[in-house]
């Protein structure tokens, strides 16, 4: 049985109305306090939610920047971004599009890096956790591990550095 032209016209006119009526499936977002609970750091930290991005502010030790220079100025955000807490935030809050970590000395921003939710596959997450874990454990004695973490971070994030601290 062939549909009548009138029935086809009714479907064409009404279809757009029904397409827009699907229920919203907006994802969940953490509160700033929940973000801080995930990181449980001894360092002074603060967090906020900006749209669908968790923004974590970390106070970096000024002596660390003075002694470690360029490398320590750059590595700060990656230590936090490539971590189990960041991975868990992405897994637990489906509305979270990215995590940004900003390191500061006092009121001065040193480095800023944003990791998008879909940047890392499971395999890349495993590699990220390995690189960052080794840098956290042995980076003070083996500076090349910190360099590896900075290179990895620059390959997988949107980043910026304060030129005052990162110029050679």
Helix (H, G, I), strand (E, B) or coil at 96: coil
Task: Catalogue the long-range contacts made by 37-46 (C-beta closer than 8 Å, 24 or more residues apart).
Answer: 38/85, 38/86, 38/88, 38/89, 39/80, 39/83, 39/85, 40/85, 41/80
Domain layout of the chain by residue ranges: 29-163
pTM of the model: 0.81
Can you read off the two tokens belonging to residue 138?
Answer: 């042995």
What does the pLDDT look like over 108-162, one tens digit per residue? 999 999 999 999 999 999 999 999 999 999 888 899 999 999 999 999 999 999 9
Can you read off the two tokens belonging to residue 110?
Answer: 């040193």
């Amino acid at each position: 049985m062939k549909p009548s032209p009138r029935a086809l016209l009714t479907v064409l006119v009404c279809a757009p109305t029904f397409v827009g009526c699907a229920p919203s499936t907006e994802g969940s977002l953490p509160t700033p306090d929940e973000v801080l609970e995930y990181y449980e750091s001894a360092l002074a930290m603060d967090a906020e939610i900006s749209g669908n991005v968790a923004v974590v502010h970390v106070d970096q030790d000024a002596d660390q920047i003075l002694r470690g220079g360029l490398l320590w100025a750059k590595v700060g955000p990656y230590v936090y971004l490539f971590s189990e807490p960041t991975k868990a935030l992405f897994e637990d809050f489906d509305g979270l599009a990215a995590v940004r970590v900003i390191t500061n000395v006092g009121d001065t921003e040193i480095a800023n890096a944003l990791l998008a939710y879909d940047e890392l596959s499971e395999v890349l997450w495993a590699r990220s956790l390995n690189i960052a874990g080794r840098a956290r454990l042995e980076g003070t004695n083996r500076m090349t591990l910190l360099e590896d973490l900075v290179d990895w971070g620059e390959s997988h994030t949107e980043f910026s550095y304060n030129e005052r601290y990162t110029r050679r």
